[in-house]
Each structure stands twice: as structure tokens, then as C-alpha cells.
Chain A
Amino acid sequence: MRKHFNLFSQYLIGVLFGLGLIISGMSNPQKILSFLDLAGNWDPSLMFVMGGAILVGLGGFYLASKRTEAFFGGALHIPTRRDISKPLVIGSLIFGAGWGIAGFCPGPAIVALGAGHLKALVFVLAMLAGMALCNRFFTGHKKSA
């Protein structure tokens, strides 16, 4: 029972996050690319998405830092690394390049797949291939958010 409740809670949080992506416009690659196009007809909306998310997130993570375990039990899995490593920067640059090419990052791509877009399905499959490639040849650099 408790396990099912836990899984349902995870599902609802996924729905909430997905709704946030849809309402904010992040599930639309055209809107992302307009934000990334500083030299063109620039749409600054994404700054407000990040602003709203971080405003609430600051409070949430502050509250979490006061806890010793998760509300539903179990340890807090918060990353503790502080080093600025080469994989961190190189991986982020590669990720950003892919983001700038198609206007999709992982969350919005999965939401767009749920909305029935075939190109989102192909993107997600390619993304899984990219992840598998990294896991296969560069294990040890990953782990944690």
C-alpha cells in the first residue's frame, strides 16, 4: 500500500512538472529557440520560467536541507560534489549544443512525446542512444544530478 502510494506520488509530481512545462511554453521547441536567438527576434519568456522555478525551489531546497530523511522515508539523495570537473563543463557544452539545434531538452521532449509528436519520439530514442553511449564508454563520470 505504502509502496503504491509512493509510486502514485511520483507519478503526480511528473504530471505537475509536465503541466509546468506545457503552461510555461517550454514544451514548444519554437519558443526555446526564440529565447536562444539573442541576435534575432528575441523572446525573453524563458527567463521568467527559470525565475519562477528557482524562487519556489530556493524555499523547497532550504526546507529539505533541514531534514535528515525524506518525508516518505529513506535517505536524502542530494549531490555533495563541489568540484568543477572537465566532464561537467564539456558535457554541459555538448548538451547545450544539442538543445540549441532542435530546441528540445529531456523533460519537454518527453512531454511532447506524450502529446503524440512523432519527431519527439525520434528525439527521445536518439537521446536514449546518446545516454547509452555515454554510459557504455564513459562510466564513472556520471551519477547524481
Chain B
Amino acid sequence: MQIDWLAFSPGPAFFGGILLGIAAALYVILHGRILGISGIVSGLLSPKGGDIDWRFSLVLGLLSAPLIGALFFGLQTTTVIDADWIVIIVAGVLVGFGANYGSGCTSGHGVCGLSRLSPRSLVATISFMGAGFLTVFVIRHVLGL
């Protein structure tokens, strides 16, 4: 293991993380819900009465964050996507299926679940982190792609 000191950005990472924590805390206190993006999005697929507008509002907030960041805070959204189209599609299906089947993603289990000391979320986070580490290892160092 060698650390990529050029890319390493503990300051912005920590500050951004604090904002994520504030959003999750506000969400549970004001609205009484877990700020789990996969759960909120997947609920849009099977709308029940009165259960769709708030989900849509939150997703709209995520969608408009880059524009608001640029307009009000001069913030540049850096997004480098190297993956091919087919790889993107396969990854997307796995992420969507897995997040639903496993009852949560990085936000629901990783941020909120660990913050409320949930044993289920700890197991989920260890599982998806481990699978992520292993997948990148196989792709980059075994297959050499």
C-alpha cells in the first residue's frame, strides 16, 4: 500500500462529511426519517398515496446541488467517469438491486446506520466496503483492466 498524497484531501473530505452528517441529523429530527438515498429513490418506483412528493423534493435537491453550489458558492463539481457504457449499466443494475435487497446503501447504512449504532448497518457497511475493496482489487490487479 502506498498513499496517493497528491489526491489525498482530508480537509474537504471532513468538511463535506460534516455537511452529510448535518443533513442526516436534520432529516431524522425534522422529518423523522432515515436519509437513505436508495430507499427514498426506490420508493418512487411504487408510489403510494401521499408518499411521492416528499421523495421527489429530496431527489430534486440532490439534482440541483451542483447548480446551487456553482451559483452561490463558486463550487466546481468534479466527476471523472472512466467506465465504459456497458460497465456503467452492469454496475448500475448491481447497485440498484443490491441496495434494495440489502435494505440500504452508503447513506442509509454507512452514514445513518453507523450513527445510530445499528448492528445490521455495521454488518452491511463491512459487507459493501469489503466487496468494493475486493472488486477493485480483482479488476485492477488481477485482471489488470
CA distance A55 to B22 in the complex (A): 10
Query: Size class of A's contact patch?
Result: 35 or more
Residue of A nearest to B142 (CB): A39
In the complex, are the beta carbons of A98 and B92 less than 8 A apart?
A: yes
B residues 87-140 near A (Cβ < 8 Å) are 87-121, 123-125, 127-137, 139-140
A114 contact from B10, B67, B103, Cβ within 8 A: B67
Check B131–A97 contact: CB distance below 8 A: yes
Which of A45, A60, A109 touches B28 (beta carbons < 8 Å)? A60
Tell me, in angstroms, the Cα distance from A53 to B61 when the chains sit together: 19
Most-contacted residue by chain B among A38, A40, A114, A116 (CB, 10 A): A114
A-B contacts counted at CB < 8 A amount to: 535
Query: Number of contact residues on B: which range applies?
Result: 35 or more
> Do B81 and A130 touch (CB < 8 A)?
no
**Cα of A93 to Cα of B137 in the assembled complex, Å:** 15
Q: How far is the CA of A123 from the CA of B24 in the complex (A)?
A: 24
Chain A 1-26 near chain B by CB (<8 Å), digits 1 or 0? 00000111111111111111111111
User: Which residue on chain B has the smallest CB distance to residue A112?
Assistant: B79
CA of A72 to CA of B45 in the docked complex: distance in angstroms? 25
Contact B20 A53 (CB under 8 A): yes
Closest Cβ of chain B to A63, distance in Å, is 6
Query: When the two chains form their complex, are residues B28 and A76 in contact, meaning their CB atoms are under 8 A apart?
Result: yes
Interface string of A92-121 (1 = CB under 8 A from B): 111111111111111101111111110110
From B54, which residue of chain A is reached at the shortest CB distance?
A10
Contacts of A57 in B (CB 8 A): 21, 24-25, 111-112, 114-116
A-B contacts, 19 of them at CB < 8 A, read A7-B53, A9-B31, A18-B68, A19-B16, A21-B20, A27-B66, A29-B79, A39-B1, A57-B111, A95-B101, A97-B94, A100-B134, A117-B81, A120-B79, A123-B91, A126-B88, A130-B98, A138-B101, A145-B39
